[in-house]
Structure 1
Amino acid sequence: MTTTETSVVHELGTLAHRLSHPARTRCVCEPSQVLADRPDGTVVRSGAIVAKAHAADTDREALAARIALADAPQLTGILLPPLTAPGQSLTAPEHQESSGTPRRTGPYELPAPASRPVTLWPFGAPVDPFDPGAAPWAEAAALLARLHRTEPPFRLPPMRGPVKAARAVARMRAALPGEPAVLPVLAGWRALPGWARGAAPAPVQRAGFLCHGDLHLGQLVRHPAPDGPWLLIDVDDAGTGDPAWDLARPAAWYAAGLLAPEDWSAFLDAYRSAGGPAVPAAGDPWPELDVPARALTVQTAALALAKCAAEQRDPDEHEQLMIESCARIATLPPELATVRPS
C-alpha cells in the first residue's frame, strides 16, 4: 500500500470515527475497518458510519447528482440515504427538488495529495457470502422494480453500466496485450451494438428509466443493521438508461450456469410481480435481456482475465465458464446468444 493510499484509509477512518459518536463522548470504539480498498473506491467503517473515497477522476457534479438521488424522498425505502459530511450537505449542485428547492452543494473532498471526493453513509448489514441459500434474490428484484418505476426526480447523468463494461475490456487489453486468451472476449465485445459498449446512446424507448447500473448482491444491505429492510447501496453508476441492464448480471450468470434456475426464477418472478418495466409481465424475457446479458458476460470475463494476469494464475472454474460464454455469444445471433441451461 502506498503512502497516499495509507493516508486515504487514515483520513476516512478519522472522519467516520468523528461522526460515529458525539464530541466529548469517551471513545470505546473498535479500530476502523477497511471494507474495500481499490482505486475506484476505498471504503472504511467506524461504528455506525461508513466513509467512501471515490476515484480521483470522478465527475464531481455527476456524483453529487447521484448522491442527491439517494437522498430524494421518492427513493425512500429503495436506496440507502447518505449522511452529511462536516460543513457539507451531500446533495447535487443546482438540481431542483420536486418541491422546487435548489440543492447546491457537493461531496466532501479529501485534501491533497489524495484529492478524492468522499461520501458518508450509515452502516448496513451486507448479504452473508457464506449463506448462499439466504441470498435475497427476490428482495433485490422487488427493489429494482420499484427503482425502475420511479420517475427521476431531477435531471440525472446516464447510467454508467455500458461505460464500465468498456473500461473492463480496456483493462483486459492493457493487462494482456496481444495474448490469444483475450480473443474470445474481444469477439463477444465486437458483436455487441454500440450502446452496450458505451459508444452510442441507448435506444430512445429504453433510455429514460431510473437504473442502478451495477446490480449484484454486494449492493444490498439491511438498514438499520442487523435486521432492517433490504436497501440498495452504491449509486456511483446510477442514472437513466435501459432497466434491463440491472437484470443483466443475474441473467448472464444463469445463462452461464452460475446461478441456480430456482434463484433466477425467484428473481424474475419477483421483478415481474412488482411491476418492473424491463421485461414483459409474462412470456420470454430474453429479447429484452439478451444484449445487456451478453455485455455483462463480456465484462465479467474481461475483468477475470485482467485479474488472472495481475495474480499470475489461470482462470478458475467460474471464470472459465464466463470466458467460454464469450466464445459462444460471438457466434450466435441476438436472442440466441445467451442460451439458457436446460
Structure 2
Amino acid sequence: MVKDNLLRLAKREGWQGEVRTLSCRSERVLIGAGDVVMKAHAPLTNSQDLKARLNIVSMEPWNQVFLKPLRQDVFDLGDDRVATAWPLARVLDENQSKIPWEHAAWVLAKLHSIPIDRKAFAFEAPKSRAVTRVKLALAQLYDVSENERDAVWQAIDASGKTLDLSDEADQPTHWVHGDWHLGQIVDISFGSQPNLRLIDMEDMGIGNAAWDLARPAAFFAAGLLSAEDWQLFLETYQNEGGRALPRGEDPWLTLDNPARSLVVQCAANAWIKAREENRSYRDDEQLLINACERICVTPISI
C-alpha cells in the first residue's frame, strides 16, 4: 500500500525514470524514480515538525551539512503516512575495508559548530529527539508480558535504570542530528573526493551534541569499534572544532551517560528484533548485551 502510494506520488509529480525499492522497513519505505528518492516516514509522523526540519535543512548553513531536500513539501500518502522527496545520493558503505571515520567526524563537527539563532526562523526551533529515541526503545522493552522477561531482558532493564534521560541530560546547546551513525551519511560527489552530507533529519534539532557521538562511543566501549578507529574519529572531531568535547578533558566525562544510553537502546532493539524474528543474537548484538551486563555491575562507567 505504501509503495503504491509513493508510485502514485511520483506519477503525479512527473518524476520519471527507473523505479526501484531502495529500502523497505515497517517504519519507513524508500522508493527511487530516476534521480528522485521518495521517503515514506514512520506512521503518525508529525507533519508540522517534519516541515519545520525540511525548512531548516534547506537553508544556509544547514544545507552544507544536510542533504538538501528536492522539495520542502510534506506529501500526504493517506493512512497516517507522509512522504518527502530527495535527490539521489550515494550511501556510505559501512562494509568497505576502510571506513572514512575522519570524514564522518568532520561532517559532525561542522553541524555542531553552527550557531544557535532562534530568530532565524519564523517558527520554534525543534528539539533533538536523541533522548526520546532511547525512551521509546525502553518503552518497547517494557511492553512485554512478565513471563517473556528473561535474563537478557533483566540485564537491559537494570542497565536502563542507571541512565539519566532527564531534560538536564540534553541541554539545548548545539544543533544535533539526533540519530547519528554511519548509515546517516551520503556522498553527493560521485567522485574520488567525498562531499558528505547527513540524511534522515527527522530527529534533528537543538540539544546536547554529545548524543551524536554516543553511538561510536558505545560501539567502542562494547568492542564493536576498534581503538584505532575510535581515536581517529575522536581526534578528527576535536581538530575540526567539534564543540561537544572540551579540549584537554577526559571525553568520557561528557560521553559516559550518552554512550551507556546508546548501548541500552541498541541492546533493547536487538532483544526485540531477535524475539520478533525468532532467532539467536548476532555477534554484534551479543556484544551490546554483554556491555549492558557490565553496566549493571559498574553503573558509573562502561
Amino acid in the other structure paired with 1:161: A
CA gap 1:35/1:176 in 2 versus in 1, 3 angstroms? farther
Q: How does the TM-score come out when normalised to structure 2?
A: 0.91
SS in 2 for 1:240: strand
Distance 1:226 1:20, change over 3 A: farther
Contact 1:187–1:330 (CA under 8 A) maintained in structure 2: yes
Does the 8 A contact of 1:165 with 1:296 survive in 2? yes
Q: Is contact 1:245–1:292 with CA below 8 Å preserved after alignment?
A: yes
Note if 1:9 corresponds to 2:26.
Answer: no
Corresponding residue to 1:174 among 143, 150, 153 = 143
Gaps of 5+ in 2: none
Stretches of structure 1 that go unaligned for 5 or more consecutive residues are 1-6, 22-26, 91-106, 196-200
Confirm or deny that 1:40 pairs with 2:6. Answer: no
Aligned partner letter, 1:38: R
| 3-state SS of paired residue (1:119) | strand
Aligned residue number for residue 202 of structure 1: 168
Report the CA distance between 1:194 and its aligned residue: 3.3
Q: How far apart are the structure 1 equivalents of 2:246 and 2:5?
A: 47
Per-residue Cα deviation, 1:183-223 (whole angstroms, up to 9, x for no partner): 0000010111232xxxxx1357x423110001111100111
CA distance in 2, matches of 1:115, 1:332: 43
Contact 1:140 1:267 in 2 (8 A): yes
- Aligned residue pairs total 294
Once the two structures are superposed, the pairs formed by residues 21-60 of structure 1 within 5 Å of their partners are 29-30=17-18, 32-60=19-47
Equivalent residue, structure 2, for 1:319? 285
- 1:62–1:156 Cα contact (<8 Å) kept: no
1:25-84 CA-partner distances (Å, limit 9, x unpaired) = xx6x33x22222223221111111111111221122211111112111121321101112
Q: Is the 8 A contact 2:94 2:182 kept in 1?
A: no
Matched, 1:108 2:86: no
SS of the aligned residue for 1:118 comes to strand
Does residue 137 of structure 2 align to residue 150 of structure 1? no
Which residue, 202, 206, 209 being the options, matches 1:240?
206
Counterpart position of 1:188: 159
Q: 2 CA distance for matches of 1:168 and 1:313?
A: 19
Query: What is the distance in 2 between the residues matched to 1:166 and 1:187?
Result: 14
With 325-334 and 222-231 compared, the bigger mean Cα shift is at 222-231
Shift of 1:261: 1.1
Instruction: Classify 1:17/1:219 alpha carbon distance in 2 versus 1 (closer, same or farther; 3 Å).
Output: farther
Partner of 1:216: 181
